[in-house]
Amino acid sequence: MRRPRPAPRPNAAARPPVEVAIEAMGGEGDGMAPGPVFAPFTLPGERVRVAGSGERRELIEVLEPSPDRVEPPCPHFGICGGCALQHWAHAPYLAWKVERLRGTLARQSLEAEMLPAFAAAPATRRRVALHARRGTRQAARLGYKTRKSWDLVDIAVCPISDPAIQAAIPALKRLAAPLFEHPKSAPTLHVTLTATGLDVDISGVERKSGGLSADARMQLAERAAEADFARVTLDGEIAYLARLPQVTFGAATVALPAGAFLQATAGAEAAMTAFVAQAAAGANRIADLYCGVGTFTFRLAEIAQVHAADFAPAAVQAISGAMASAPGLKGVTAEARDLVRRPMLAEELKKTDVAVFDPPRAGAAEQTAELARSAVARVIGVSCNPATFARDARTLVDAGFRLERVLPVDQFLWSPHIELVGVFSR
């Protein structure tokens, strides 16, 4: 049986290895034995040998494997810090994620109908962040950080990523090679697959020394052209542009601003937008709060007039610019607005009967407080952080809303991460 190859730990040889029985899974995706003792790449029901001291140990050997153990599909698994759970069969893995979500809601005394989870398939991630390190003049080292380390796993494949991104790995390594003129540069390539090709936004290039030289910028552009990338930007500044990166939301075609947020998989986006649209059916006026570049906006505008708001002016401009591509909608107005410092007030929501919010990980505490004060009849919350969603949901429930149903969304495959969409009504 192949076993994972864990990253070496300084304390791994400090004490003799011990045998432990794994009884449950911890929140970070590590198996948990009494003590507690946590060990990566282990599963409930297994007897394993671990090394080290303290709560966090390293797996040495699986002595009695679980029937739910499967062969990891990635040759980098066990070293790469990107995935934690490739060794677990899909059904129990997904059930564990849903149960964790249920437990997070329960800690705020929240109950709701839990719908069958959407689960992303392998090879569907359209958005990845790849770290680059100095290699040769022709190709940088490129990949993900190793487990619990700043070292880099120089990847050859990535089974979570769309085949178009995987096929571009050699070209991305060439693209990154000219970025190391300054010794403090530690570039990250934020790669997004769009309808018009790969969009690459590069961060982490040292700028205090004046940024990249003209020669390095020329090499960057030449290598982007060789690879037929749609666009390459340096912290949002265009370094190469062949065509605008575009995505489709409902009937609208949106030109993505550099570095814009996009759901990690197209399948999850489709499942969430369909669910949100179904929950908003029958609305007369909709508020789309933290709207981004219009993931939900244009589907909602098929139902009713939508007012969209987001803190990023470029995202709001992208929505406005896409309106001409989508005739027949009920109407969209959009404004750039910091919904933390200046949430949409209850008084401004007087004519709104459905509100959708999709905030960053920190949640939408300020905006939720105004929704709780408002006369809005239905609220739909989209969240990448169940803990802050549960906090915000408690505010709505205390104001007379009921959390009716929850759609779990697993689009970060083989990680402990779970997302959700929840529907509230008065």
| Active site positions, annotated | 384
279: left (phi over 0), alpha (psi -120 to 50) or beta: alpha
254, 322 Cβ separation under 8 angstroms: yes
Q: Is 358 annotated as a binding residue?
A: yes
Alpha carbons within 13 A on the beta-carbon side of 135: 20
Q: Is 310 annotated as a binding residue?
A: yes
Query: Is omega for the bond preceding 75 within 30 degrees of 0, making it cis?
Result: no
Cα separation, 403 vs 368, in Å, equals: 14
Cα distance between residue 364 and residue 344, in whole Å: 11
For residue 392, say whether it is annotated as part of any ligand binding site: no
Name residues whose C-beta falls within 8 Å of residue 2's C-beta, 6 or more positions apart in sequence.
71, 72
Residue 63's identity, in one-letter code, is L
Read off the DSSP letter of residue 104. Answer: H
Q: Which two tokens stand for residue 147?
A: 């487990």
Ramachandran angles phi, psi of 418, nearest 5°: -135, 145
Q: 154 among the known binding-site residues?
A: no
Return the amino acid letter for 349.
Answer: L
Cβ neighbors of 332 (< 8 A, separation 6 or more) are 297, 298, 301, 305, 306, 307, 308, 319, 323
Residue type, 278: Q
Q: What are phi and psi of 214, to 5 degrees?
A: -60, -35
Q: Which residues are annotated as a binding site for S-adenosyl-L-methionine?
A: 263, 290, 310, 358
